[in-house]
Amino acid sequence: MKIGDFDLHINGTYIIAELSANHNGDIQNALDTIKAAKEIGANCIKLQTYTADTLTLDCKKEDFIIKGGTLWDGKSMYELYKEAYTPWEWHRELFEYARELGIDIFSSPFDKSAVDFLENFNPSAYKIASFEITDYELIRYTASKMKPIIISTGIATIDEIQDVVNICREIGNNEIVLLKCTSAYPAPLEEANLSMIPSLAQTFGVVSGFSDHTLGTIAPTVAVTLGAKVIEKHFILDKSIGGPDADFSMDKQEFSDMIKAIRDTEKLLGKVDYSMTEKKKKSRQFSRSLYVAKEIKKGEVFTKDNVKSVRPGYGIHPKYLKDILGKMADIDYSFGDRLNMNELGV
């Protein structure tokens, strides 16, 4: 499966820098963040495409006031989304700039009009945010564009996850990535439940990954060891910019450290390979093999006293010791001679 030119099964982990609200209302911040994401080695910069009116109602009734211990308690949903949204008139410039720099770019649409709008820019994929996973019509419409669809599962039940996978497949879109996500900002480590990453892949027959809202680099790094092929993390140029997402976003140095940790982890994981590489062959000099420990004359018997399993590994394999003991030597051997198969007829 590919996202743009990136093959998830060959090229390693696809790392998404989530811009979200981290432009703080300034397009230059957005452009500078895209450039920084490219400089530190992110594979993609991701936007969010909505307006306050496409997400909620401009209403101050209790139902529309945010509460529950979030960073945004006391604000109305409309107020938050009006502050956080990325102006649609910026999109063309942001897409063109990212492509000019050579970094992938796509977005999370939050309604059908956003999908139609984003189609103008031919994004390489679409991302469905965790709170939108219950919007089956949005998922159906987005999947119908036949681009890879990345879906965060943060608030979903297992039945809802199965439903959205089925919706994509019914349309004929099998390019599905499910992201483990804890929809808390920031998310406590004990709620990350990274063991779900391999389970998502196995249970639903998809590529799995991790949309991370924890602090630090340990969670995404561990996620890669569990098979995550996509990592998404909120990225901010500098936390002094401020904004709704600043507190749980990584700055340039932190994000760079995370990318390095992920790439180092990929090197450590390597691949399943039982073949004898040249390095392995060379290192076998330090393994044991059978050598003559005392001078042996032709016709004398090989014993535990005159044949031993020792380093280096240039002689025959120690497993043949039992076959050699008790046999008579056909030639003379001096101390330190290696034993070999041809002489012994083993």
Are 329 and 255 found together in one domain? Answer: no
- Residue 235 CA to residue 248 CA, distance in Å, equals 9
Are 308 and 256 found together in one domain? Answer: no
pLDDT at 59: 96
* Helix, strand and coil percent figures for the chain, each rounded to 5: 40, 20, 40
- Residue 108 CA to residue 20 CA, distance in Å, equals 9
- 185 or 274: whose pLDDT is higher? 274
- Residue 203 CA to residue 143 CA, distance in Å, equals 20
- pLDDT tens sequence across 111-155: 999 999 999 999 999 999 999 999 999 999 999 999 999 999 989
Domain count, the chain: 2
Q: Does residue 255 form part of some domain?
A: yes
Find out whether 52 and 85 touch, Cβ atoms under 8 Å: yes
Q: Does residue 131 form part of some domain?
A: yes
Among 250, 193, 251, which Cα is nearest to 223's?
Answer: 193
Q: 224, 246, 269 — which closes off a domain?
A: 269
Q: Does residue 64 form part of some domain?
A: no
- Residue 290 CA to residue 312 CA, distance in Å, equals 9
For residue 278, pLDDT beyond 70: yes
Q: Does residue 61 form part of some domain?
A: no
Are 176 and 231 found together in one domain? Answer: yes
- Residue 148 CA to residue 206 CA, distance in Å, equals 11
For residue 345, pLDDT beyond 70: no
Buried b (16+ CB within 10 A) or exposed e, 258-296: bbebbeebeeeeeeeeeeeeeeeeeeeeeeebbbbbeeb
Are 286 and 264 found together in one domain? Answer: no
Q: Does residue 115 form part of some domain?
A: yes
3-state DSSP assignment of residue 310: strand
Among 178, 76, 69, which Cα is nearest to 133's?
Answer: 178
Q: Does residue 70 form part of some domain?
A: no
CATH of the domain at 338: 3.90.1210.10
Phi then psi for residue 254, to 5 deg, are -65, -45
For residue 107, pLDDT beyond 90: yes
Locate 174 and state its tokens. 């099998």
- Residue 291 CA to residue 94 CA, distance in Å, equals 70
Among 346, 296, 342, which Cα is nearest to 321's?
Answer: 346
3-state DSSP assignment of residue 316: coil
CA distances from 273 to 64, 171, 268, 276, 280 (A): 56, 38, 13, 9, 11
- pLDDT tens sequence across 231-277: 999 999 998 888 888 888 999 999 999 999 999 999 999 988 999 88
257: which residues sit within 8 A by CB, 6+ positions away? 217
Average per-residue pLDDT for the chain: 95
Are 171 and 302 found together in one domain? Answer: no
For residue 322, pLDDT beyond 70: yes
Please tell me the pTM assigned to this model.
0.89
Percent of the chain topping pLDDT 90: 85
Are 259 and 287 found together in one domain? Answer: no
Find out whether 111 and 85 touch, Cβ atoms under 8 Å: no
Are 256 and 319 found together in one domain? Answer: no
Are 179 and 254 found together in one domain? Answer: yes
Are 229 and 290 found together in one domain? Answer: no
Count of CB atoms situated within 10 Å of the CB of 190? 8
Q: Does residue 237 form part of some domain?
A: yes
Are 301 and 165 found together in one domain? Answer: no
Domain carrying residue 132: 7-50+85-269
Are 226 and 287 found together in one domain? Answer: no
Locate 8 and state its tokens. 């998830």
Q: What does the pLDDT average to over 328-342?
A: 93
Q: 234, 269, 304 — which closes off a domain?
A: 269
Q: Does residue 63 form part of some domain?
A: no
- pLDDT tens sequence across 53-69: 999 999 999 999 999 77
Are 295 and 180 found together in one domain? Answer: no
Helix (H) / strand (E) element for 29: namely helix 27-40
Locate tokens 């957005």: which residue? 30
Among 213, 177, 171, which Cα is nearest to 194's?
Answer: 213
Q: 252, 269, 286 — which closes off a domain?
A: 269
Count of CB atoms situated within 10 Å of the CB of 1? 15
